[in-house]
Amino acid sequence: MLTQAPFAQQLLHWFDDHGRYHLPWQQSRNGYRVWVSEIMLQQTQVATVIPYFERFMQRFPSVEALAQAEQDDVLSLWTGLGYYSRARNLHASAISICEQHQGQMPSDLGSLIALKGIGRSTAGAIMSQAFDQPGVILDGNVKRLLTRLHGIEGWPGLSHIEKQLWQLATELTPTQRNADYSQAIMDLGATVCKPKQPLCVTCPMQSTCQALANDTVAQIPTPKPKKVLPQKTVSVLLLKNPQGQIQLQQRPAKGIWGGLWSLPEYAHLTALHAHLALSGLPINTQALPTIKHVFSHYKLSIEPHLLQLKQQPTKVAENDQNRWYDAAQLHTIGLATPIKKLLENNQ
Ligand code: SF4
């Protein structure tokens, strides 16, 4: 097995010829750009992130610009990227950076992980990528690479396996060419030691890889034990006024789609009709096709019901959390993706 110096040397040698140098966040590199890119790249492929990153930077070119933005503006640029707590945390942390660090991205591990949404690996990536310090990273790509290289069996999410991987990642991280090293180890995981059909024949680590030697590449990393996801069903109301505007409701800050705009939601159709009756509205709703959506911890069936009003209602609340929106305004607010699609299909 390679120890730190030869491993880093071999990896950097490979990176010099095959690494990625033209990603947007590698240009005009600074702490803010690296931070935003690292948050967007969590659970998300580079190709998906690039247009989101470019739009985000155009709109919020600095920590100050992000801190001064309305949360709705931040969420609207995140629509479709998923895991919306990332956007809320990014916004909250930009405010903290302005208040506590004079708008300067901190460069030490302790201050970075004190910020909302920044874990140990993201902090390591910011330290190395933005400040060229020996920050240790252990994202999904690095975990896969290290488990295969060292033939480590067992799901990497288990705490004892994760601890072992952190130890290995720390031992292997060099003290020079830090930005290149962290990019190199992520690139090797993403482009060569891929989840499916890794390119072992072109891999610079093939002579020392345990999984390759033991013919266990396809079994490592051990997948997460499968559990049956619970199923939940809700009814939502697509209420249109005579001008074609739609009633939207802002979701609570915490929980699924926190802070995003959505349709009023009810446990079932009877509750939806009871609400309409209380508001003095007709209950001749029209059922639209059910939408299925899978979250990490449950499956959701959304049953939409359309009600086209002939008169502007007097009892339908309009306040900070409930508003009528024109179709043309919908791109300016953060919307849950399935709801966005539903609205686009029923304009
Ligand atoms: S030899 Fe194959 S399995 Fe081993 S590190 Fe390289 S790409 Fe991954």
In terms of DSSP bridges, do strands 322-325 and 299-308 run parallel, antiparallel, or are they unpaired?
unpaired
Both 67 and 190 in a single domain? yes
C-beta 161 within 6 A of ligand 1: no
Q: Mark whether 69 and 198 lie in a shared domain.
A: yes
Q: Please state, in angstroms and rounded to a whole number, the distance separating the CA atoms of residues 283 and 276.
A: 6
CA dist., res. 31 & res. 239, Å (int): 44
Q: Are residues 213 and 254 in the same domain?
A: no
Q: Which of 38, 64, 265, 303 is catalytic?
A: 38
Position 18 in a domain = yes
Rounded to the nearest whole angstrom, what is the distance from the C-alpha of residue 148 to the centroid of ligand 1?
A: 6
CA-CA distances (angstroms) from residue 82 to 72, 86, 146, 233? Answer: 15, 9, 27, 20
d(CA 204, CA 201): 9
Mean pLDDT of the 2-19 span: 87
Confidence of residue 285 (pLDDT cuts 50, 70, 90): very high
Whether 224 is covered by a domain: the verdict is no
Mind listing the pLDDT tens digit for each residue in 241-283?
A: 999 999 999 998 888 898 899 999 999 999 999 999 988 899 9
Check whether residue 176 and residue 86 sit in a common domain. Answer: yes
Distance from Cα 99 to the centre of ligand 1, integer Å: 45
Mean model confidence pLDDT for the chain: 93
User: CATH code at 39?
Assistant: 1.10.340.30
Contact 98, 63 (CB under 8 A): yes
* Domain count within the chain: 2
CB of 185 closer than 6 A to ligand 1?
no
Evaluate: CB of 167 within 6 angstroms of ligand 1. Answer: no
Angle subtended at Cα 108 by Cα 8 and Cα 166, rounded to the nearest 5 degrees:
45
* Ligand 1 contact, 198 CB (< 6 A): yes
- pTM over the 0.85 mark: no
Q: Is residue 294 classed as helix, strand or coil in its secondary structure?
A: strand
- 212 and 305 assigned to the same domain: no
Shared-domain flag, residues 193 and 250? no
Mark whether 318 is an active-site residue: no
How many angstroms separate the CA atoms of 54 and 35, rounded? 14
- Residue 105 to residue 110: CA distance in whole angstroms: 12
The residue from 189, 219, 249 where one domain ends is 219
Q: How far is the C-alpha of 132 from the C-alpha of 113, rounded, in Å? A: 17
* Cβ partners under 8 Å of residue 254, min gap 6: none
Nearest-atom index, ligand 1, CA of 205: 6
Q: Residue with the nearest Cα to atom 2 of ligand 1?
A: 200
Angle formed at CA 124 by CA 48 and CA 151, multiple of 5 degrees:
80
Question: What are the C-alpha distances in Å from 299 to residues 109, 228, 231, 260?
Answer: 37, 10, 5, 19
Q: Which of 219, 253, 276 delimits the end of a domain?
A: 219
Structural domain of residue 236, as residue ranges? 231-345
Peptide bond preceding 134: is omega within 30 degrees of 0, i.e. cis? no
Q: Is 95 exposed, middle or buried (0-12, 13-18, 19+ CB in 10 A)?
A: middle
Domain for residue 341, yes or no? Answer: yes
Give yes or no: residues 67 and 205 share one domain: yes
Q: Is residue 226 included in any domain, yes or no? A: no
Asked if 55 and 158 sit in the same domain, the reply is: yes
pLDDT score, position 305: 97
Domain boundary among 166, 185, 219: 219
Residues 80 and 25 in one domain: yes
Ligand 1 centre to CA of 6 (Å) is 16
Which atom number of ligand 1 is nearest to the Cα of residue 204? 6
Once rounded to an integer, what is the mean pLDDT over residues 95-99? 97
Do 190 and 299 have their domain in common?
Answer: no
Residue 21 counted as domain residue: yes
Q: How far is the CA of 205 from the centre of ligand 1 (A)?
A: 6
Q: Is the CB of 286 under 6 A from ligand 1?
A: no
The reply to whether 89 and 209 lie within a common domain is: yes
pLDDT tens digit string along 43-55? 888 999 999 999 9
